[in-house]
Every structure is written in structure tokens, then in C-alpha cells.
Structure 1
Amino acid sequence: MKLTVIGGTGLIGSQVVRKLTTAGHEAVPAALSTGVDLITGKGLDQALEGAEVVVNVANSPTFDEASLDFFGTSMDNLLAAGERAGVRHQVILSIVGVDQVPQLAYYRAKTLQEHLLRQGPAPYSIVRATQFFEFMHAVLSWTSDDTTVRLPATRIQPIAAADVADAVAGVATGAPLLGIRNVAGPDVFPLDELGRVTLAAQHDGRTVITDDTAGMFAGITGDVLIAGPDAHLAPTRYQDWLQTVR
């Protein structure tokens, strides 16, 4: 099977390409570095030529209001190019609870992307994942100084990028879901506690202060970012993963 992986050189996309190739499929990475521009459409027709499946894991360069234009325009262009190429299955990677956090522009943008996909011409699948282990370093950096890190107690259920890539590759090589598959890590943490676990594993002496007004996840309450009972739980635990990245 030939699959084109949009964003195929990034954190998730490169792993999806590798997993598909190892499984015997023809996986073509498509990104700006390979001459494909999602916003102008340049190179899309060539990248999708002969592809049965398109896997879209491309990300917006920003998390602000501009992400709405990025995901709206890129999804429109990709669906049109897929229809011209006769693509039989469009897959995107999204976020667990994305439609329940309208206060975040980036989440509204991903919700728009999902809506456009559902209204598009091709059978589709949406893989919604929780926050990646690999992003924890960035989360810590948003609200930190030399001695403290301020984090809200927002509950999250983080997952390893490799497990996300496994889920995306599995969905891409199966029949279209015509719906959503939720994937998450095996454990739930308050974000402030996850910060403490991370700093301790890295022998970082900074103190985590619980501050529900701090950072991107400020003001998110309840379990909207937690996968429900129907979710596929990945095997990798955060503490075990931390041992591999020291």
C-alpha cells in the first residue's frame, strides 16, 4: 500500500514513515523540506500521486489565532488534492478533548480541522491523542525561572510519541473509522505533580509551585483532557520513558 505522510519529517511523522516502511508499505514523507507546501498547495499533487491513504500529522508553526488559518487552509488544500488523486482514506492526528477547550485558539483550530475532514469527500479517520511525553520540557519552560516552575493542577494522561505513531500507523493501514479513535498513556497525573516527577528524574533542584493561572493549560478544569473508557491505552509509562532520555 502507498501512503503519503504529510508532516512526515517531524516527531510523529518520521516515526510513522519508519513503522509503515518496516511493515512493508510504501510510505512517502511530505513536508516543506521535500518541496510540499500545505498553504500554497505547491507539490501536493505530486506527493499524493498514486497514494491510497494520506496521513496528516503536520503541525501549525504557532499556537495562537494564526493556527486557525493554518489548519483551515491546509485541510482544504489537502482534501482537494486528495480528491484529484483518488485517495481512499484521509487520516489526521488530533487531540483528546479538543472540542471541549474553546478558550485555546490552537484547540479551536484543531476542531476546525476535524470538522473540515468530516465534511470532506473521502472516507476518514481521526486519531485523538493526549499530550506527548516529549513536550514536557517545553511545558516546564513556559512559566519557569532559575528557582521555580509554576504549573496548574490540570489533569492530563500523557503518552509517548512512539505509541502515538503506532496508533496512527495502525489506523492508516486499516479500514476508515468514519469517526474517532482516542489513544492515551496508561497513567493520569496532575500537571504540577508531573512537573515534580520530571524535575526529580533530571536532578533539577527547582521547585514546582501549583498555580492554576500559569501556562497554556491554565483554567482547564475537570477531566476534559483525560481519555474516556473507550480509549486505547498505550503501554509506555512516563517514569520508564524518563529513564531512556536522561
Structure 2
Amino acid sequence: MKCAVIGGTGLIGSQVVRNLNAAGHEAVPHSKSTGVDVISGQGLDEAAAGADVLVNLTNSPTFDEASLAFFRTSMDNLLTAARAGGVGHFVILSIVGTDRVPELDYYRAKALQEKILAAGPIPYSIVRATQFMEFMDAALSWTADGDTVRLPATPVQPIAAKDVAAAVAEVAAGTPLNGIRNIAGPEVLPLDELGRITLSRKGDARTVVTDPTAGMFAAVKGDVLTDENAHLAPTRYTDWLS
């Protein structure tokens, strides 16, 4: 099976390509570095031509309101190219809870991406993942101030990028879901406690202060970023840190 992986040179995409090729498929990575641009449309027709599956792992360069335009334009361009190229399965990676946090521009943008795909002409699969373990350093940097890091106690269920890539590759190689598969890490932790674990393991002397108003996830209420019914990945956060 031939798979066109758009965004195939990034953190998740490069591993999806590797996993699909290891399973005996022909996965080809595409990105700006290979001459493919989802906004201008450059190279999309060539990338999609003859592909059985198109996996879209591209992401907006910003998390603000501009992300809505990014996903609208990129999905319109990708669906047009996929249809012209005879693609029979279109896969995207999204976020658990993306339709339940309208206060966040980026989550509304991802929900829009899902709606565009579901309304399109091609059989599809949506893989929703919880927060990546690899993003914890960024979350710590957003609200760092001297010797203090402020984080809300928002429940999260962190998942390793390698487990996300494995799930996306599995879905891409299968029959279209025409729906959503949720994937998550094996444990739920408050974000502030996750920060304390991270700093302790790294020998970082900064202190985490619980602040319900701090950072992007302050807008998230309740446990919408977790899913007890998701397909659970094997990697625990402390094992990943090690």
C-alpha cells in the first residue's frame, strides 16, 4: 500500500513513515523541505497521485486565531489533491477534547479540521491523542518566572510521541474508521504535579506553584483532556523521562 505522509519529516511524521515502511508499505514523506506546501498547494497533486492513503500531520505555525485559517485552507487544498489523486483513505491527527474547549482558538481550529474532513468526499480516520510528553518542556517555559513555574492543576493523560506514531500508522494501514479513535497515555496526572515530577527528575531546582490562571491550559475546565475509554499506550511518563 502506498502512503503519502504530509508533514512526514516532523516529530510524529518521521516515525509514522518509519513504522509504515517497516510493516511492508510504501510510505513517502512530504513537507516544505521536499517541495510540498499545504497552504499554497505547491506539490500536493504530485504527492497525492497514486497514493492509497494520505496521512496529514501538518500543523499550524501558531496557536492563535490564525490557526483557523491554516486548517481551513490546508484541508481544502489537501482534499482537492487527494480526490484528484484517487486517494481512498484520509487520516489526520487531532486532540482528545478538541471539541470541548471552545475558549481556545487552536482547539476550535482542530475541531474545524475534523469537520472539514468528515464532510469531505473521501473515507477518513481521525486519531485523537492526549498531550504529548515531549511538549512538557514547552508547557514549563510558558509560565516560568525566575525560580518559579506556575501551572494549573488541569488533569492530563500524557502520551509518548512514539506511541502516537504507532497508533497513527496502525490506523493508516487499516480500513477507514469514518470516525474517531482516541489514544492516551496510561495514567492521569494534574499538570502542576507533572511539572514537579519533570523538574525533580531533571535536577531543576525551580518550584512549581499551582495557579489556576496560568498558561494555555488554564482555560480547560474539568477532565476534558483525558479519556478513560481511550486506547491506552504503554509508556508511562517516568519511564519516558528515564
Where on the TM-score scale, by shorter chain, does this alignment land: which range?
over 0.9
Equivalent in the alignment of 1:233? 232
For 1:73, the aligned partner's letter is T
Equivalent in the alignment of 1:138? 138
Equivalent in the alignment of 1:207? 207
For 1:75, the aligned partner's letter is M
Q: Distance in 1 between matches of 2:43 and 2:97?
A: 33
Once the 2 structures are TM-superposed, how far is the Cα of residue 49 of structure 1 from its aligned partner? 1.5
For 2:141, the aligned partner's letter is S
> Helix, strand or coil: the match of 2:217?
coil
Once the 2 structures are TM-superposed, how far is the Cα of residue 221 of structure 1 from its aligned partner? 1.6
Q: Distance in 1 between matches of 2:94 and 2:84?
A: 24
Q: Distance in 1 between matches of 2:185 and 2:97?
A: 14
Given that 2:95 and 2:129 are in contact with CA atoms closer than 8 Å, whether structure 1 keeps it comes out as: yes
Q: Distance in 2 between matches of 1:113 and 1:6?
A: 15
For 2:231, the aligned partner's letter is H
Equivalent in the alignment of 2:31? 31
Equivalent in the alignment of 1:56? 56
Q: Distance in 1 between matches of 2:49 and 2:116?
A: 22
Q: Distance in 1 between matches of 2:118 and 2:219?
A: 29
Once the 2 structures are TM-superposed, how far is the Cα of residue 128 of structure 1 from its aligned partner? 0.1
Q: Distance in 1 between matches of 2:127 and 2:141?
A: 28
Runs of 4+ in 1 over 4 A off after TM superposition: none
Once the 2 structures are TM-superposed, how far is the Cα of residue 146 of structure 1 from its aligned partner? 2.3
> Helix, strand or coil: the match of 2:99?
helix
> Helix, strand or coil: the match of 1:127?
strand
Given that 2:130 and 2:183 are in contact with CA atoms closer than 8 Å, whether structure 1 keeps it comes out as: yes
Q: Distance in 2 between matches of 1:82 and 1:50?
A: 9
Encode CA deviations 1:158-189: one digit per residue, 9 max, x unaligned. Answer: 10000000000000000000100000000000
Equivalent in the alignment of 2:98? 98
Equivalent in the alignment of 2:87? 87
Encode CA deviations 1:22-77: one digit per residue, 9 max, x unaligned. Answer: 11111111110100010011100111111000001111111001100000000010
Q: Distance in 2 between matches of 1:93 and 1:82?
A: 17
Q: Distance in 1 between matches of 2:224 and 2:130?
A: 10
Give the number of equivalent residue pairs.
Answer: 242
Mapping of residues 174-189 of structure 1, within 5 Å: 174-189=174-189
Once the 2 structures are TM-superposed, how far is the Cα of residue 228 of structure 1 from its aligned partner? 3.5
Q: Distance in 1 between matches of 2:16 and 2:76?
A: 23
Root-mean-square deviation over aligned CA pairs: 0.6
TM-score, normalization by structure 1: 0.97
Residue 219 (structure 2) pairs with residue 219 (structure 1): yes
**Fraction of identical pairs, as percent:** 71
Given that 2:104 and 2:219 are in contact with CA atoms closer than 8 Å, whether structure 1 keeps it comes out as: no
For 2:46, the aligned partner's letter is Q
Equivalent in the alignment of 1:78? 78
Q: Distance in 1 between matches of 2:16 and 2:234?
A: 17
TM-score, normalization by structure 2: 0.99
Q: Distance in 2 between matches of 1:5 and 1:202?
A: 34
Equivalent in the alignment of 1:150? 150
Once the 2 structures are TM-superposed, how far is the Cα of residue 118 of structure 1 from its aligned partner? 0.3
Q: Distance in 2 between matches of 1:88 and 1:114?
A: 17
Residue 192 (structure 2) pairs with residue 192 (structure 1): yes
Encode CA deviations 1:219-240: one digit per residue, 9 max, x unaligned. Answer: 31211111132x1000000000
For 2:239, the aligned partner's letter is D
Q: Distance in 2 between matches of 1:145 and 1:201?
A: 20
For 1:235, the aligned partner's letter is P
Gaps of 5+ in 1: none
